[in-house]
Structure 1
Amino acid sequence: MHRLIIGMGVLVLPFTGALAQSSIAIYGVMDAGTQVSRFGNGTQFNLASGQFEGSRIGVKGWEELGQGYKTMINLESRIEVDTGGISNGYIAPNIGANLTRGLPAAVSRMLGPQLTPRVVVNTNATLFDRTSIVGLVTPAGAILVGRQYTPAYEVVSKADTFEAGTAAGWGQILQGSGGFITSGVAIRASNAIQYRIESNGTGASLMAAFDNTGSLNLSKRFYGGNLRFRNETWNAGISYQQEQDQQGRSSLNTTVAGGSYVMGNAKLFAGYAHMRNDHSAIVPLLTPVIGATYVNIVGSNARLDSHSVSVGTQYRLGHGRILAAISRTAEKASRSKVALYGMGYLHDLSKRTDVYTIVAYARNQENAQYASGGAGYAGGFTSGAGQSASALQFGIRHRW
C-alpha cells in the first residue's frame, strides 16, 4: 500500500506514546474507461467507472492490544469516476421481460420500470456501501461486525478468471433472468456478524445477519459460511449461504465451489454455483402496487433455480497477462440459458497502475436477456428474449 502525505494531512499515521502500536491508512482504487456495447439496439458507447475493479476510497485502522489481540476498522465508499457520485444504474436502455411475463399489458407497462429501476447499485446512496466494519482479532480467530462481503462471494472471487470484474467476469451471469431482482449471490450483507479463522493456509468463516440484509437488503435473516484452502499453487474454497424473506420463508440459497491453480506462467480457474430462490424478498413489497393476484404471477416469474459453471486461464507474459474464460448458466425457472465468452489483456505500467482491454460475448438462448457490465456497474438487459450481447472495454486502473 502506497503511503502519502498531502500538505499537513497525514494519510497514514502511526500513533506515538501510549498508542505506539496503532495506525490508520487511507487507500483506494480509481478505475475507468470506455465500453462499446451491442445489446440489440445498435451500438452504444459509455464512459464507465469500475470496469476491471470497482472504484473506491477507504480507511483501515488497527490497534495492537498485546498477547495476540488487536482491534480493527474498515470503512470503504464507492466512487463513480465518471460522475463523482456513489450510485449507478444499468447502462442498457432495455426493460427485462421475464418478470412481467403473463401480466396484462397495462400492468406490465406500469410495473416494468419499477422492476428495471434507474438506480440498481447502492440504491440508497449509502456513503460506506462497500464496507463498514469493526472487529476484534484474537488468537482464536476474528469477530467482524457490520456491512461486509459474504462467504459465497469470497469463493466466487477465487474462481473467477476476470477477478470478479469486467464484462467477461463470471459474476455477470450469476443471476436469474430478472437481473438484480433475481440475484444469485449476495455480494455483501448488512447488519452482519462474522467469525473468521486462519491457520497454515486453511481458513473458515461463519456469518449471520439480521433485518434488511442479503442480496436486495430486504431479507429478514441471512446465514452463511465457507471453507478455504491456500498455498503456493492452490487457492480454493466452498461455501453455502441462505436468506429468509420477511415472512421467515427460505429465500435465496447459494452454493459455490471453486478456485485457482498456478502452473508455471499459467493460472487455471474453475467454479460451480447452484442458486435457488422460491420466495424473492421483493415480491411482498409489490402487493400494494399491483394487488395480490398479479403479485403471485410476479412471484412465480422471480423464482430462481440455476446452475452455473466457469473455466478459464490467465497467462503471464512479461509485464502483462492474457485472460480467457468460458462461463455458462442454465436457469430452469425462467427457461433461460447463456454462454459468456471472454478474452482480455492487462498490462502493468507500474506496481500500482495498469491498462486493459476486454472483449465479451454473451450468447443468450430461450428467454435469456443477459447484458454485461463491469465490476462496479451492471449491463442490464438486451432488447429481447434470446437476443445476444457483446461488449468491448478499454480502461486504466490505479491503486494506492
Structure 2
Amino acid sequence: MKKLTLVATAIMGLLSTSAAMAQSTVTVYGILDAGYNHVSGLRQGSVSTIASGIMEGSRFGLRGSEDIGGGYKAIFTLENRLELDTGSVTNRPNSGTQMPDRVATSVAAGVAGLPLPVATRDAIITSVNTTLATGAFGVNLAGNLFDRQAYVGLVTPVGAFTMGRQYTPGYLVAAQFDASQTQSSLAAGQVASLPAAFDIRLSNTLQYAIQTGGVTALLMYGAGEVAGSNSAGRFWGGMATYKGNGFSVGYGHNGKNNELGQKSLTNDLIGATVDVGPGTLYGQYATIKDDNPTGISSIASSVTTSTGSAAVGAAFQSAYNAAFRQDARLMHIGYRLTTGPHTWVVAFNRLDDKRTVNADTDSYGFTYTYALSKRTNLNAVLTRFNNKGQGQVAPGGNGFLGGVTSSAGVGSTNIALGIRHTF
C-alpha cells in the first residue's frame, strides 16, 4: 500500500503542475460507503461483516478538463477502487474460491468416458476449479491502482472521443434502466454475477459519444492486444438512449471475442422508464450468450502436463467450456420514489437460464435511503435470493461479489445497514 500511496501522490503532483500551466481544472472526488452486511445460506452459515461498497463501491478519483477553444475540450478521469473496511484495493466474496456445484457435476459428466479412476478425475477437477476461482472470484484481484476508470479524451463540436479503461455500452444501459441504479444487492446484475453476465469495464478501449437533445449514443471498440491475432480479445459495443418528457427508452449491445478469437460473451439489452404517480417505474430485458467462455483456454495444456495425455487434456477442456457457457435472459422491474430526504426502491429480478442445468435465480426486496445532507446518507437493504434448480448465487453489494450459497438451490437473504458520503 505504501508504494500505491507514493504513486498516487506523484500523479497528483504532476496533474496539479499541469493544471497550473494550462489553467485547466482538476477535481478530486470520491465515495466512501461502508456498513454492516449480513448474508445467510453460505457454506459457513450466516455471515455478518463490515463491508465496503454496500450501496456504491468506495472510490477516489481525479477528473480534469481544459478548454482549448473553438468548442474543443481535453478531458481525463483516473478513478481507483478503495476497500474502506481494509484500506485495500481488492476483495473476495464471503464464499472465497468455492465454485458452483454445477461446474464439478457438469465436468464429471463431460469426461465420464475417459479411462480415469474416479479419484484421479476428482483431483483434476478440484485442482482446475481452485486455479480458476483463485484467478477470477473477486474484484480487482490484480490490484490495479485505477481499476475503475482510467481514460483521456477530446470533446469536439461533433462528439467526444475517449480512450483507456471505460464502462461498456451494454453496462451503461443496464445501469440506467435499473431502479436501484446498480446499488446494493437488489441490483439486477447481482443475480447474474457468477459467471459474470456482463463486461462492466474494459481496458484498451476507444469510444465515440454524442449527446444532442434527449439522445445519447456511443460506440466502443476494444483492442484485445493479443500478439499474433487481431481478433483475439476484441470487443465491439454500442448504445443509444432517448429521454423524453416523463419517460426514457434505450438499447445497448456488447460483443467480445475470447483469447482465441472466438465469439464469446454477447449481450443485447432494452430498457425503459416511465413516471408513474410520484415515482418512476423501471424495466429492462437482457440476453446473455456465451458459447466460447473467455479465460479458460489453458486448461487443456495444464491437464495434459499433469496427466501426460493430450486426449485427457482436450476432454477436460471441452467439459469446462460446456460448464461455463451461458445462455440466459435477465429481467428486471422496479419502482423508485424520492420524497424529501427519503428514497425508496422496490424491485424484482429474474435470471432465466436456458441451458439444461437450469440455474435460475430470482431476487426481490427493497432499499431505503435517508439523506442527512446533500453529501451524506444512511441506507438500509433487505434482499431475498431464491435459487432454483442449479442456481446458487449469493447476494453481494455494489462494491463486492456475493459468491455462491452452500449448495445448489439454497437461497440467501441479505440485510445491510450503511452510511455513504460523497465528496
| TM superposition score normalised by structure 2 | 0.86
Structure 2: gaps of 5 or more residues: 1-11, 109-120, 304-312
1:60 is matched with 63
Partner of residue 253 from structure 1, selected from 256, 266, 269: 266
Structure 1 counterpart SS, 2:298: helix
**Residue 356 in structure 1 maps to residue 363 in structure 2:** no
1:32 is matched with 34
Q: Find the structure with the greater CA-based Rg.
A: 2
1:136-178 per-residue CA deviation (whole Å, 9 max, x = no partner) reads 0000000000000000010011111111121111110234xxx
TM-superposed CA distance for 1:261, in Å, is 2.5
State whether residues 170 and 268 of structure 2, in contact with CA within 8 Å, keep that contact through their aligned partners in structure 1: yes
**Residue 377 in structure 1 maps to residue 400 in structure 2:** yes
1:181-230 per-residue CA deviation (whole Å, 9 max, x = no partner) reads x32110011100000001012011000011269xxxx9610000001112
State whether residues 152 and 255 of structure 1, in contact with CA within 8 Å, keep that contact through their aligned partners in structure 2: yes
Rounded to whole Å, the distance in 2 between the matches of 1:77 and 1:17 is 23
2:100 is matched with 96
Structure 1: gaps of 5 or more residues: 1-8
Report 1:331-342 matches (<5 A). Answer: 331-333=353-355, 334-342=357-365
2:125 is matched with 108
Structure 2 counterpart SS, 1:105: helix
TM-superposed CA distance for 1:234, in Å, is 2.6
TM-superposed CA distance for 1:37, in Å, is 0.8
Distance 1:158 1:14, change over 3 A: farther
Rounded to whole Å, the distance in 2 between the matches of 1:132 and 1:206 is 18
Rounded to whole Å, the distance in 2 between the matches of 1:382 and 1:115 is 18
Q: Which has the higher helix share?
A: 2
2:204 is matched with 191
TM-superposed CA distance for 1:17, in Å, is 8.6
1:43-94 per-residue CA deviation (whole Å, 9 max, x = no partner) reads 1111110110010000011110111101001000000001101011112254
Moved more, 345-354 or 242-251: 242-251
Distance 1:92 1:143, change over 3 A: same
**Residue 317 in structure 1 maps to residue 323 in structure 2:** no
AA at the equivalent of 1:356: N
AA at the equivalent of 2:72: Y
Rounded to whole Å, the distance in 2 between the matches of 1:263 and 1:68 is 39
Rounded to whole Å, the distance in 2 between the matches of 1:219 and 1:189 is 14
Distance 1:79 1:18, change over 3 A: closer
1:365 is matched with 388
TM-superposed CA distance for 1:14, in Å, is 11
Report 1:173-212 matches (<5 A). Answer: 173-175=191-193, 179=194, 182-211=195-224
Moved more, 71-80 or 230-239: 230-239
TM-superposed CA distance for 1:337, in Å, is 1.0
State whether residues 172 and 373 of structure 1, in contact with CA within 8 Å, keep that contact through their aligned partners in structure 2: yes
Distance 1:285 1:15, change over 3 A: closer
**Residue 343 in structure 1 maps to residue 347 in structure 2:** no
State whether residues 96 and 116 of structure 1, in contact with CA within 8 Å, keep that contact through their aligned partners in structure 2: no
Partner of residue 390 from structure 1, selected from 413, 416, 422: 413
Rounded to whole Å, the distance in 2 between the matches of 1:281 and 1:18 is 44
Rounded to whole Å, the distance in 2 between the matches of 1:268 and 1:138 is 35
State whether residues 32 and 422 of structure 2, in contact with CA within 8 Å, keep that contact through their aligned partners in structure 1: yes
Structure 2 counterpart SS, 1:315: strand
> Once superposed, what is the RMSD of the aligned Cα atoms?
2.3
Partner of residue 233 from structure 2, selected from 217, 220, 241: 220
1:344-369 per-residue CA deviation (whole Å, 9 max, x = no partner) reads 11100000011111011111000000
AA at the equivalent of 1:92: S
Moved more, 98-107 or 296-305: 98-107
TM-superposed CA distance for 1:126, in Å, is 0.5
Moved more, 128-137 or 158-167: 158-167
Structure 2 counterpart SS, 1:298: helix
Rounded to whole Å, the distance in 1 between the matches of 2:16 and 2:205 is 29
Report 1:136-285 matches (<5 A). Answer: 136-175=154-193, 179=194, 182-211=195-224, 220-285=233-298
**Residue 326 in structure 1 maps to residue 326 in structure 2:** no
State whether residues 175 and 182 of structure 2, in contact with CA within 8 Å, keep that contact through their aligned partners in structure 1: yes
Distance 1:120 1:17, change over 3 A: closer
State whether residues 165 and 171 of structure 1, in contact with CA within 8 Å, keep that contact through their aligned partners in structure 2: no
Structure 2 counterpart SS, 1:254: strand
Structure 1 counterpart SS, 2:224: strand
Moved more, 308-317 or 345-354: 308-317
State whether residues 14 and 24 of structure 1, in contact with CA within 8 Å, keep that contact through their aligned partners in structure 2: no
1:94-141 per-residue CA deviation (whole Å, 9 max, x = no partner) reads 432222223232222222222332752112111000000000000000
State whether residues 23 and 63 of structure 1, in contact with CA within 8 Å, keep that contact through their aligned partners in structure 2: yes
**Residue 129 in structure 1 maps to residue 147 in structure 2:** yes
Structure 2 counterpart SS, 1:371: coil
TM-superposed CA distance for 1:231, in Å, is 3.9
TM-superposed CA distance for 1:271, in Å, is 0.8
